[in-house]
Each structure stands twice: as C-alpha cells, then as structure tokens.
Amino acid sequence: MWASKVVAVDFDEVLAESMRACLAFHNYTICGQDIEYETITYYHLEDNDHLNITTDQAVQWFDDFNEQWQNTVDPVLWAYEKLLERKQQWHTMILVTARPSSLEKQTRGRLDKHFPNIFSQYKFGSIYHSTGITRSKAEMCAEIGADLFIDDNMRYLLDVQNHLPNTQLFLYERPRNHEYKSELHPWITKVSSRSDIFVA
C-alpha cells in the first residue's frame, strides 16, 4: 500500500528534451562557437570553461529559444506512464520549474498535451532567466511540502537537501550532473531509466 505523497517534478530535461531542442534551434552554436549536448557539463553555460561566454549571453541564448520552444521540444518518452502510475497511487504531482512565469501558458499547454491530468499545481521560479521574481527550488518545495523532489540539476537538489533534509531526492541522469558521487551524496537517488524512477 502506498502512502500519499507530494511529489515535486522538474520540467526541463526531466519531462521535456529541452536542451537538445535548444541546441537544434541554435544550429549547435552559441556566440559563434560550436556547442554539443554531451560536452555541456554545467547548466549555467558560462561555467563551462570551453565556452567563452558571459552569463548575460547564456541567459539570452535560452530566452531566444524559449520564445519558440512549444513547437520543437519532445517529451521524455517514459515519463508520462510513470507519473500516471504514481498518481493512481494517490501521489500529488506538482510542477516545480526554474522557468519564469512568463512561460506559464506555453509550459502548461505542453503539459496538457503530453502529460494530461497529472499536475495539480504549477510553480515557476524564474531562476536563470532575465524576467520575473526569482524563487529557489527549495522555497517552492517548502511551499508545497514536497516529500519527493525530482530534478536533473545537482545544484537544485543540494539546495533542497540543505533546507528540507526530510525531502527524498531523485537525480535524473544527464551529462550536466557529473558532480554527483554516490559516496558523497548518499541521500540522493540517481535514476537513469524508467524502471529506476520513484523507487522509494
């Protein structure tokens, strides 16, 4: 028997193949330099030493894409059935995204199309964007009383762990989360396939 839990779920790279779509949109270039999916090891692109760009340029790169993303981003293939399975076990699903609230309409449209009847609330943090009032993932998780938090960005997981030590953490494997070490982060469950996720 499953107990009811509040599950905070990230959007980009957990539910949607956003980075691949963003790279394709920009023809695999940023500020005149080549950029590839596998060699981006930090989400904040200015932290990737092989790219010589500023924070403003990185934010602008994502913002340019976000104006058109709705027609080009594919959903993560396994995600819907796993979320539905847990929802049927009385879990409450809440979207907790770093996206700005200016993207709420198109984000919810995408969720309605690919993840219908899953989410009961939507939280927009406006982290790493040029518009909106910023709220951290920890603040948003605290607001909803998240029992579980699923994200692909180690920094957000560490932030939540710091402020909400009782929240179970799941890291979805992507090239950007190489900072994860099982011996250093035993409280984080790293998941890389549909069968692994929501193992708790």
Q: What residues make contact with Mg ion under the rule CB under 5 A? A: 10, 12-13, 152
Q: Which is nearer to Mg ion, 34 or 153 (CB)?
A: 153
User: Which residue(s) pair with 29 in the sheet?
Assistant: 34
The least distance separating Mg ion from the CB of residue 53, rounded to whole angstroms, comes to 20
Q: Which is nearer to Mg ion, 52 or 96 (CB)?
A: 96
The least distance separating Mg ion from the CB of residue 151, rounded to whole angstroms, comes to 6
Query: How far apart, in whole angstroms, are the C-alpha atoms of residue 162 and residue 164?
Result: 6
What distance, in Å, lies between the first and last C-alpha atoms of the chain?
13
Residue pair 104/124 in contact (Cβ under 8 Å)? The answer is yes
Residue pair 15/76 in contact (Cβ under 8 Å)? The answer is yes
**Tokens read off for 104:** 């709420």
The least distance separating Mg ion from the CB of residue 44, rounded to whole angstroms, comes to 12
Q: For the chain, what is the total number of helices (H) and then of strands (E)? A: 6, 8
Query: How far apart, in whole angstroms, are the C-alpha atoms of residue 14 and residue 79?
Result: 8
Angstrom distances, CA of residue 13 to CA of 17, 37, 72, 77: 5, 12, 14, 11
User: Other CB atoms closer than 10 Å to residue 151's CB: what's the count?
Assistant: 28
**Tokens read off for 101:** 């609230």
Q: Which is nearer to Mg ion, 8 or 51 (CB)?
A: 8
The least distance separating Mg ion from the CB of residue 152, rounded to whole angstroms, comes to 4
The least distance separating Mg ion from the CB of residue 87, rounded to whole angstroms, comes to 20
Q: Which is nearer to Mg ion, 51 or 98 (CB)?
A: 98
Q: Which is nearer to Mg ion, 18 or 168 (CB)?
A: 18
**Tokens read off for 32:** 């005149």
Q: Which is nearer to Mg ion, 33 or 192 (CB)?
A: 192
The least distance separating Mg ion from the CB of residue 127, rounded to whole angstroms, comes to 10
